[in-house]
Amino acid sequence: MAFIITDPCITTKDTACVDVCPVDCIHPRKDEPEFEQAPMLFIHPEECIDCGACVPACPVSAIYDSPDATPASQKELIEANAVYRAGDPAAVAAATTIVSAHVSAHPELINIPAAERAAAHQS
């Protein structure tokens, strides 16, 4: 599996990563209908070419380069990235359900400002 977007992206949805992605594998883009309802952005694991351009572009350090590098508190979001597919209502709903469960399970992290949340993952 490719890169993983984690919870600092929840509600942030800064699209700097989308702008630098050479293969358009990060969704939803601002011009996709799911953008407003999606709680965060997702990386399509089969479209990602593992170039890493998104990592330094993310202003909240929400992107990890592999499932193994993803902190334990963020592991359920690996599945959210894996199932999300723009234009597929069932896949969007499934990913959103995973993210909602993550938010409910980790209020201590979600209450930290997004820009500081990545550091808290390491605790």
Would you kindly state where each structural domain of the chain is located, as residue ranges?
Answer: 4-121
Q: Tell me: the pLDDT tens digits for 40-77?
A: 999 999 999 999 999 999 999 999 999 999 999 999 99
pLDDT at 123: 58
Closest CA to 29 of 94, 89, 87, 76: 87
Domain formed by 4-121, architecture: 2-Layer Sandwich (3.30)
The pair phi, psi for residue 73, each rounded to 5°, is -70, -5
pTM: 0.93
- Pair type for strands 26-27 and 63-64: unpaired
Residues pairing with 27 in the sheet: 42
Q: If residue 17 lies in a helix (H) or strand (E), which one and from where to where?
A: helix 16-20
Which of these, 89, 94, 77, 83, lies nearest to 32 by C-alpha position?
Answer: 89
